[in-house]
């Protein structure tokens, strides 16, 4: 299980709260892959991730655009890539290939390390400077 720690903080409490929810979903994946999970469980996790992506990315993007964040496009592309991955996983599951938890775990883990801990942290200075903490 992944526990929230300061190393995941992007220095903006509202975004940290949303990232905590994301980690909660990764933990569901971790638990599920330890047992013989059902298609419904995968569908549930995927719909949580789609909801997270839709709401959370929109929030980050709204701030980035409002604060004229210079790396907006690069960041936006990474978000788009995540959403596309969720569509691909969803299609697989709909077609009955639902044993994807290992692959999904790997992807989410990578997202945590490469997006949240790297790409997201780059906006800290800009967001803080604009009064968002
Ligand atoms: Fe992001």
Task: Specify if 113 maps to a domain.
Answer: yes
Closest C-alpha among 75, 55, 56 to residue 126: 75
The model's pTM: 0.96
CA distances 97 to 36, 48, 55, 105, 107, Å, are 14, 19, 27, 16, 17
Domain that includes residue 17, residue range: 12-129
How far, in Å, is the centroid of ligand 1 from the Cα of 96?
30
Instruction: Please tell me the distance from the alpha carbon of residue 51 to that of residue 44, in angstroms, as a whole number.
Output: 11
| pLDDT of amino acid 33 | 95
| pLDDT of amino acid 32 | 96
Task: Specify if 2 maps to a domain.
Answer: no
| pLDDT of amino acid 4 | 98
| pLDDT of amino acid 61 | 98
Task: Specify if 51 maps to a domain.
Answer: yes
Across 88-93, average pLDDT? 97
| Inter-residue contact 29 to 41 (CB < 8 Å) | no
Longest dimension (CA), the chain: 48
How far, in Å, is the centroid of ligand 1 from the Cα of 79?
6
| Inter-residue contact 7 to 128 (CB < 8 Å) | no
| pLDDT of amino acid 57 | 98
Task: Specify if 6 maps to a domain.
Answer: no
Number of compact structural domains in the chain: 1
8-39 pLDDT, tens digit per residue, is 999 999 999 999 999 999 999 999 999 999 99
Percent of the chain with pLDDT over 90: 100
Burial of 126 (0-12, 13-18, 19+ CB in 10 A): middle
Task: Specify if 102 maps to a domain.
Answer: yes
How far, in Å, is the centroid of ligand 1 from the Cα of 76?
8
How far, in Å, is the centroid of ligand 1 from the Cα of 115?
6
What is the rounded average pLDDT for all residues in the chain? 97
Across 91-96, average pLDDT? 96
CATH number at residue 18: 1.20.120.50
Q: Is 8 helix (H, G, I), strand (E, B) or coil?
A: helix
């Amino acid at each position: 299980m992944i526990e929230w720690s300061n190393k995941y903080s992007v220095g903006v409490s509202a975004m940290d709260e949303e990232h905590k929810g994301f980690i909660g979903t990764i933990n569901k994946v971790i638990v599920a892959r330890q047992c013989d999970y059902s298609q419904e469980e995968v569908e549930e996790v995927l719909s949580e991730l789609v909801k997270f992506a839709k709401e959370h990315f929109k929030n980050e993007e709204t701030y980035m655009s409002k604060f004229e964040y210079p790396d907006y496009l690069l960041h936006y592309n990474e978000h788009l890539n995540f959403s596309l991955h969720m569509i691909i996983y969803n299609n697989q599951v709909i077609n009955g290939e639902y044993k994807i938890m290992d692959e999904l775990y790997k992807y989410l883990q990578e997202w945590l390390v490469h997006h949240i801990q790297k790409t997201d942290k780059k906006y800290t200075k800009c967001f803080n400077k604009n009064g968002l903490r």
